[in-house]
Chain A
């Protein structure tokens, strides 16, 4: 199941684009974020899978040695919709100077407390992307967020404005297919694998729609990879895009 995850999706978008009832929903989940067996269990299980994609993308983009321990040394990273820092902390361990933004102050509070315990320095900001000081970042990540955003075009435009020249963007989101409606929304939320109210299927974007949105912001989307689930392999990267997918984007030449 794909990413189901996301409890947190967070939205860090211009104020008009955030749904107030969604922000409250995710705030309630913040405290449970870091419990690998808690309500974010799917997200914890998804983490190694999407980090695997991110690591490969980083190595390819900056032509790095796949074995190097801190490939992001000297680089800045921005995670938009960072939740309680499940992605920010690994990026910091990979050497990046990380900024995490989330619309829900509870998420940011949980993220700050956890980073302090982990001995990591991460710049966490509660609020909208637009309230960040003007700055661009070498790596911009926004995972499992755009499906929660009402004005996707405006939001992607804001993300693009944060990408430094020569930078790399990574996005993931559920696809809008009959399979994702059945598995991610109906089944997963019914049995409780994903917290109820996490997803609104109509807001999901297909890979083609996302490519078009990115192109509108001057970004070229890479080849999407699916995140699929099988009983034997668990969550894994796959050519099957029907549930959830993850892509890179860079400035168009």
Chain B
């Protein structure tokens, strides 16, 4: 039997590990369990898995002490350009000089390295990688997770952070509302001849959005972007199987020379797009964070940022409660977490959902409406600022840990 800790976090990915570190910054101890082996997750090579880190999320990284180590690997997003099939009338989101950047792009691998490194130095975190959870228990006085090797990890609160297919959520019977887009996101790392100048492109095609996110040049000075290419489910297998040459030709066709010529693409991977939302993100001694609580369509790059807002809110609620002598699994604290988060995640998800729908309608009339709509957004400054604030993650009631 290992030592009893405040939190038993199932899932040590970007959200779960950030939660452990943020909790530790408030003196809250944790067990973190992950099935994967960290050496594999941090192996060399850019596979295109990248994340946009909003200003608010960056504040969180600063507050848990990993921002300095990450800064050299950040590619600042200077501008977000949204275009309908590369026709005229694109929307540009450019912040005023005093507003700072729209966010920073990172390879997920870099984020993981920084998180693991910080966790290793943190005695309040007990990390159990390469471990399978065979049994979860939530009782009157605490929680326990049994691992395949027989170890039992005890705590006050169980946290499900295993992503959109969270077995912890399913076992707790928390219902998911789910819209399946019947689309799949194909992601890859691209090398291209022209610099991206810090621009994140979202190019909408009737078949689905094609997003290019600026990455830092590699050591050899090659310009790079992360590609998130949405295709219909029925076309996904074919696209994944394309030869490298054919894939490059397809990418070049859809980018219209925006970034010069695409010269190389990294390994391709894909995941199905579905919007999920649970009305309930807590149960007795259980809280869900990140995609386990709400899968989200990646076009607006909000998935991880939303998960990190979950982290900030949950840690704040627990720390506030422990300051009053309440334990982390206290039902009143979890109720506050759920109230706080439900509105935020629902509004982001619905806005993102609406955007996808708007751009998913084929035909000339629809395209004209979209361009008109985009021109409208360009002119309508409150809406534009909402979009920009959303991209930077500074709208809504922000947890303290996500503030400057």
A→B interface (CB under 8 Å) = 34, 36-37, 44-45, 47-48, 51-52, 54-55, 66-67, 69, 89-94, 114, 117-119
Contacts and interface: CB of A to CB of B under 8 A. Distances in A.
A34 B140 contact: yes
B259 interface: no
Given A34-B140, A117-B140, A44 B326 contact: no
Contacts of B322: 69, 93
B324 A52 contact: yes
B325 A89 contact: yes
A34 B325 CA distance: 16
> Mostly helix, strand, loop or mixed at chain A's interface?
helix
> Mostly helix, strand, loop or mixed at chain B's interface?
loop
A117 B325 contact: no
Nearest to B339: A234
B67 to A, nearest CB: 22
Interface in B313-371: 321-327, 330-333, 336
Contacts, number: 49
Contacts of B330: 48
27 contacts: A34-B140, A36-B331, A37-B331, A44-B332, A45-B332, A47-B326, A47-B332, A48-B330, A48-B336, A51-B325, A52-B324, A55-B325, A66-B323, A69-B322, A90-B325, A90-B326, A91-B325, A92-B325, A93-B325, A93-B326, A94-B324, A94-B325, A114-B140, A114-B141, A117-B141, A119-B4, A119-B141
Contact of B332 (A36, A92, A94, A119): A36
A69 B325 CA distance: 8
Contacts of A114: 140-141
Given A36-B332, A44-B331, A45-B332, A55 B141 contact: no
B100 interface: no
Contacts of A69: 27, 322-323
Interface residues of B, number: 16
A44 B141 CA distance: 16
Given A48-B336, A114-B141, A117-B140, 19 more contacts: A36-B332, A44-B331, A47-B326, A48-B326, A48-B332, A48-B333, A51-B325, A51-B326, A54-B324, A55-B324, A69-B27, A69-B322, A89-B325, A90-B324, A90-B325, A90-B326, A93-B322, A94-B324, A94-B325
Most chain A beta-carbon contacts within 10 A, residue among B140, B141, B323, B324? B324
Interface of B: 4, 27, 140-141, 321-327, 330-333, 336
Nearest to A70: B325
B323 A55 contact: yes
A159 to B, nearest CB: 21
A117 B331 CA distance: 17
A213 to B, nearest CB: 28
A47 B27 CA distance: 22
A92 B321 CA distance: 14
Nearest to B322: A69
A74 to B, nearest CB: 16
A93 B332 contact: no
A93 B327 contact: yes
B334 to A, nearest CB: 9
Nearest to B284: A36
Sorted from nearest, which 4 A-B pairs have the closest CB atoms? Answer: A90-B325, A36-B331, A51-B324, A117-B141
A44 B324 CA distance: 14
Contacts of B326: 47-48, 51, 90, 93
Contacts of A44: 331-332
A47 B327 CA distance: 12
A67 B27 CA distance: 10
Contacts of B324: 48, 51-52, 54-55, 90, 94
Nearest to A117: B141
A168 to B, nearest CB: 15
